[in-house]
Structure 1
Amino acid sequence: MSDFKIGDDGRRRTTDQLQALRRANDDRVAWDTEAPADFTYLYDPDHVLVRVRDVEEFEAALGRLEGIFDGNAERGEDPVPGELARYRLPARAKNETVPDILDLLDLDERFGPGRVTPDHWIHITPGGCTCCPATEPEETGLVEPWPPVCTDHGRGKGVSVVVVDTGWNPPSATDNRTPWLKRVDGDDELNGPDLREYAGHGTFIAGVVRCLAPATRVFVEGFAVGGVGGGGILESAMVTQLTEALTHKPQVINLSAGLRTRDDLPPLSFEVFYETQLQGLDCVLVAAAGNDTSPAPFWPAAFEWALGVGALDRDGRVSDFSNYGVSTDVYALGRNIVNAFPDGTYTCFETPHKGDVRVFDSGMARWSGTSFAAPIVAGLVAAEISAAGCSAHEARDTVVARAVRMSDPTIGPIEALRQPYC
């Protein structure tokens, strides 16, 4: 985990994040560069993904890589039966990495490039220079959320939203300090008095959705539940989580997580999920655009079928951490959001605040990142579905059409949803 420029706070922060992710996942996290702070994408060091229709040719291509493997690749349980296969590569003679093996397969004229990918790690709004929210959660003396709860308490009635995230804090649903979360449900993230990294992320996001659409049915589909995962999940496992999310029949899914990929190619997991599960449904996937100040594709926000959301400061300018370009269809407030958070003691694990102790005892926190801009848009889409009696896709288009076209001096024209939202 050495870093030749470790004195820079930004690089230290990224290294801290990767250490946490690796520690939580038994060292099954690798990256594509020597220095961790320079990573573009994260991947499982032993597994690859391939479409089932390409399996026979893939196995033949592996067989042509003479002198590299000690044994045969093992096919595990298919993440998407009949569509997506996951293989474990055997030991390699010279410790070749997964990207090394894929480079060789790309050169095979009988197989060709792009048909096998790493099993990438998805993280809470990750990317090429940071892999978490733009900040760690901060205490706040405020007792009301921002953006505030809409005064029309019927907004979102009859609409189902699933937040696919770190899990849910059940006490928030019955806490008199956070009444807007009443009847929200989800997978318990099992908080204790000492809050783990990324605790409360899903609860905070569910609260933002509820403020914009108070009558919406919200379920938090949890990954990395119970303090494991370090805020991350393999893309092969995310397919299962997204498929489970669909059992709640949502019109809107909020995913405040994502990934960069090898060669910036679309991740196979999301391609297959869309083709086999989401396509044809009246359901909109709203995705955070990431916090790397980058125009590079950040998935799934960069897909045409997803609604990618960047972050604005309270003065309406694009946040300095927000991604832009192909991953961002629209921008919404993402700086200094205030919403529900578990009570407990949180010890910061990222530079420059590493080791600082923060005590949360108000049921609330302040947080920044595209993670929290996304649920504003998800809530607005849910509200529009109920108000107009329209489809989720029609509501998405209506919400985006309300954005103000403005010019940012750094990134050019953008579509911004300005406050107030209710």
Structure 2
Amino acid sequence: MASDWKIGSDRRRRTTDQLRAFRAANEGSVAWDTEAPADFTYLYHPDRVLVRAADVEAFERAAETLDKEVLGESPRRDEATLLDGELVRYVLAPRRGGESVPDVLDLLEAGGLRRGAASPDHWVHVSPGGPGGNLCPAIEPQETGLRDPWPPVAPQSKGSEVSVVVVDTGWHPPAATDPRTPWLAGVDGDDELNGPDLRPYAGHGTFIAGVVRCIAPDTKVFVDGFAIGGVGGGGILESDLVVHLEAALTHDPHVINLSAGCRTRFDLPSLPLEVFHRTRLRKRDCVLVAAAGNDSWAAPFWPAAFGWCVGVGSLDRDGRVSDYSNFGVSADVYALGRNHVNAFPDGTFVCNETPDVGDVRVFSTGMARWSGTSFAAPLVAGLIAREISETGCSAADARDVVLARAVYDSDPTIGPHMELRQPYA
């Protein structure tokens, strides 16, 4: 890893920059599935395994046959109660031969454990990526001289109250009373504790809340922060994310926006997110909208790839699919994701990623310009919230109505797809 940052394209170096920073932010508790970090397909905790409650007995039985050969001792069951015990977390002791968590799972499955019964605890990141892909939005935030958001605020007649929870990096409280960003009045959330020196991913949740409010100005918005104070470097483990999603439901949201996701071992559905949906979300009239990811490929990106989730890819302002946008199973629909302009904290930001490492950007207008599927997703979340408010329909019906407004288009790279074109409201 020491010299990988010197090798290959800016894209590969950028991915390596991101991974180095991410691992440092999480005190080394980040591993990946390839030798060169720029080639990774998924990230995971180096010592954790997640198991469905129904498969615990089979997992422990399989581990007993393995511990003498590979494990120094049997896996330790974590005391954390996840989703009322429906999900169980184990910690592996050091492996005798240095086997990784995926190596151990390979051995357990070769010994008869059902594939999918157990999983690494994957890292979910702000629009993470894969080989030569991105761990974060398509670009770092850019200064702008613009004073108005884009897409602009869409006037809305007062309707029924609708609640949206943005599960993200936290909230910048001054934006709610800043005369430069009046569309964010009344928004609340977990303070991300910004100072004059802005951390990576600072303002991400605030920017997304701004996109929701521009599309649906009368919507009640709360920003749940999973990376307060920069902890985690903008990422969270799957098993911790579902705790935040469960907490988000206490706000009785009609829509949850998650501009983050992950690849997984063998591209299997994310185990914690599947359990969260089965035990929590499907019992509620609540729609989850998620970013499709910024890796320019069709591999499943969770939760966007789930059939029960609305996965959103990115369009450029000319209506073409953005070159960074994921497509295929992770993108049910595409919406503007390139060059959004919205609320952002004032302060000094030093770029961390190739080719802009060391570039100093000073934000002083309460606004920024940003691109990525992270910002296409809240546009769709806002449209769903607006439909609920104006018609009084269910969240599920509003989702269907919004998606029905999309038009079919075709692209030689990704083929036929559905687009929500401007104007959006």
Whether TM exceeds 0.5 here: the answer is yes
State yes or no: 1:50 paired with 2:51.
Answer: yes
Name the structure 2 match of 1:83.
86
Name the structure 2 match of 1:304.
307
CA RMSD of aligned residues (A): 1.0
Name the structure 1 match of 2:354.
351
State yes or no: 1:247 paired with 2:275.
Answer: no
Taking the aligned partners of 2:35 and 2:277, their CA distance within structure 1 comes to 34
Residue type of the alignment partner of 1:228: V
Contact 2:312 2:335 in 1 (8 A): yes
Name the structure 2 match of 1:113.
115
Name the structure 2 match of 1:376.
379
Cα displacement (A) at 1:152: 2.4
Q: What are the equivalent positions in structure 2 for 1:316-335 lying under 5 Å apart?
A: 316-335=319-338
Name the structure 2 match of 1:138.
142
Taking the aligned partners of 2:363 and 2:186, their CA distance within structure 1 comes to 23
Name the structure 2 match of 1:407.
410
Residue type of the alignment partner of 1:98: V
What TM-score, normalized to structure 2? 0.97
Name which of structure 1's ranges 234-243 and 144-153 shifts more when overlaid on structure 2. 144-153
Q: Which residue among 69, 72, 78 is the counterpart of 1:70?
A: 72
Cα displacement (A) at 1:157: 4.5
Contact 1:260 1:298 in 2 (8 A): yes
Contact 2:163 2:219 in 1 (8 A): yes
Cα displacement (A) at 1:153: 5.3
Q: What are the equivalent positions in structure 2 for 1:74-223 lying under 5 Å apart?
A: 74-76=76-78, 77-109=80-112, 111-128=113-130, 129-152=133-156, 154=158, 157-223=160-226
Report the 3-state secondary structure (helix = DSSP H, G, I; strand = E; otherwise coil) of the residue aligned with 1:64. helix
Cα displacement (A) at 1:365: 0.1
Residue type of the alignment partner of 1:149: V
Q: Quote the sequence identity (%).
A: 68
Taking the aligned partners of 1:325 and 1:96, their CA distance within structure 2 comes to 33
Residue type of the alignment partner of 1:120: H
Contact 2:5 2:13 in 1 (8 A): no
Taking the aligned partners of 2:115 and 2:318, their CA distance within structure 1 comes to 45
Contact 1:106 1:114 in 2 (8 A): no
Cα displacement (A) at 1:4: 7.8
Taking the aligned partners of 1:144 and 1:295, their CA distance within structure 2 comes to 34
Offset from partner CA, 1:318-351 (integer Å, 9 cap, x none): 0000000000000000000000000000000000
Taking the aligned partners of 2:271 and 2:5, their CA distance within structure 1 comes to 34
Offset from partner CA, 1:211-269 (integer Å, 9 cap, x none): 00000000001001112110100000001000000000000000000000000000111
Contact 2:22 2:232 in 1 (8 A): yes
Contact 1:5 1:11 in 2 (8 A): no
State yes or no: 1:33 paired with 2:34.
Answer: yes
Taking the aligned partners of 1:237 and 1:300, their CA distance within structure 2 comes to 15
Name which of structure 1's ranges 4-13 and 34-43 shifts more when overlaid on structure 2. 4-13
Residue type of the alignment partner of 2:31: A
Q: Which residue among 397, 414, 418 is the counterpart of 2:421?
A: 418
Taking the aligned partners of 2:242 and 2:17, their CA distance within structure 1 comes to 27
Taking the aligned partners of 1:7 and 1:412, their CA distance within structure 2 comes to 29
Offset from partner CA, 1:70-99 (integer Å, 9 cap, x none): 122111123223200000001111110001
Taking the aligned partners of 1:60 and 1:389, their CA distance within structure 2 comes to 51
Where does the alignment leave 5 or more consecutive residues of structure 2 unmatched? none
Residue type of the alignment partner of 2:414: I
Q: How many residues align?
A: 420
Residue type of the alignment partner of 1:115: A
Cα displacement (A) at 1:105: 1.0
Contact 2:343 2:367 in 1 (8 A): yes
Contact 1:403 1:418 in 2 (8 A): yes
Residue type of the alignment partner of 2:77: R
Cα displacement (A) at 1:6: 2.0
Name the structure 1 match of 2:62.
61
Offset from partner CA, 1:20-62 (integer Å, 9 cap, x none): 1111111000000000000000000000000112111111101
Report the 3-state secondary structure (helix = DSSP H, G, I; strand = E; otherwise coil) of the residue aligned with 1:400. helix
Q: Which has the higher helix share?
A: 2
Taking the aligned partners of 2:383 and 2:169, their CA distance within structure 1 comes to 22
Q: What are the equivalent positions in structure 2 for 1:286-297 lying under 5 Å apart?
A: 286-297=289-300
Contact 1:153 1:213 in 2 (8 A): no
Contact 1:153 1:214 in 2 (8 A): no
Residues 15 and 399 of structure 1: CA distance in aligned 2, closer, same or farther (over 3 Å) = same
